[in-house]
Amino acid sequence: MQELLGLPVQASAHAAEIDQMIVILHWLMLALFVGWGIFFVYTLIRFRASANPKADYQGVKSHVSTYLEVAVALVEAVILVAFAIPAWTTRVNAFPPEDGATVVHLIAKQFAWHSVYAGPDGRFGRRDASLITPANEIGLDRSDPNGADDIYTINQLNLPVDTPVIVYLSSMDVIHSFAINSMRVKQDAIPGIETPVWFEPTMEGDFQINCSQLCGLGHYRMRGAVTVMNAGNFQNFLDEETARLAAD
């Protein structure tokens, strides 16, 4: 069923759990649809006017349908309580500790994804709208001691594999939505609200951020690259960027 549905690769730790639920639900949908379909086609043929000239005033007398409806409600209840609610709780409540995770501030702005890493000091500097220039689109304050070493990339999110990632998501203008389909990650970026998102990439390679909420005429091209690399390469990336900032 997984392959039949053609879901994208599972590039994060929680992707399999999401997909399992999608598969179970599609089995349920298929069973109901085929069941209804067989009954439907059978009645249309069996009770056509030429085969059954006199209709039965009473029709179906059994209560099988009631049991079936109760069964459907029960299955839905089980999926809801046993799968859906716990899975969501893990997504929004069970955040990993920050010191063992990669922490990124991801800022959406028409039509690009700006990512900021804290740098060697582990602290994020302040951002200020008054500092915004074409070269500094999100107003990073480099004069802030915490911000001097902050690593900043546009449309390129580098992440280490097999390590939890915590993204603090925000938007500077309109509502965007941060989605990495291959990692089953999706969260609206809403101006005025900073929303944390966490996930754990489990597969090295190149993936994509696709804006999933209509954000203007450039919505279709608001993409960012996601590169998942091993811990060594990720450290190299951080070191190179730190060295470059120091050289500036």
* CB closer to other proteins out of 6 and 232: 6
* CB closer to other proteins out of 65 and 143: 65
Closest approach of other proteins to the CB of residue 99, in Å: 24
* CB closer to other proteins out of 77 and 246: 77
Q: Residue-wise over 130-163: b if at least 16 C-beta within 10 A, else e?
A: eeeeeeeebebbeeeeebebbbbbeeebbbbbeb
* CB closer to other proteins out of 179 and 238: 179
Six token digits for residue 32: 């109901």
Closest approach of other proteins to the CB of residue 83, in Å: 7
Closest approach of other proteins to the CB of residue 122, in Å: 25
CA distance 238 to 119: 7
Could you tell me whether strands 185-189 and 195-199 are parallel, antiparallel, or unpaired per DSSP bridges?
unpaired
Query: Which run of H or E residues covers position 242?
Result: helix 231-247
* CB closer to other proteins out of 92 and 231: 92
Closest approach of other proteins to the CB of residue 244, in Å: 26
* Residue 70 φ then ψ, to 5°: -65, -40
Give 219: exposed, middle or buried? Use CB within 10 Å, 0-12, 13-18, 19+: middle
Alpha carbon distances (Å) from 156 to 151, 163, 188, 200: 12, 18, 19, 17
CA distance 182 to 193: 25
* CB closer to other proteins out of 110 and 233: 110
Closest approach of other proteins to the CB of residue 128, in Å: 10
Closest approach of other proteins to the CB of residue 235, in Å: 26
* CB closer to other proteins out of 46 and 99: 46
Closest approach of other proteins to the CB of residue 246, in Å: 29
E strands present in 131-248: 151-154, 156-160, 165-171, 176-180, 185-189, 195-199, 205-211, 223-229
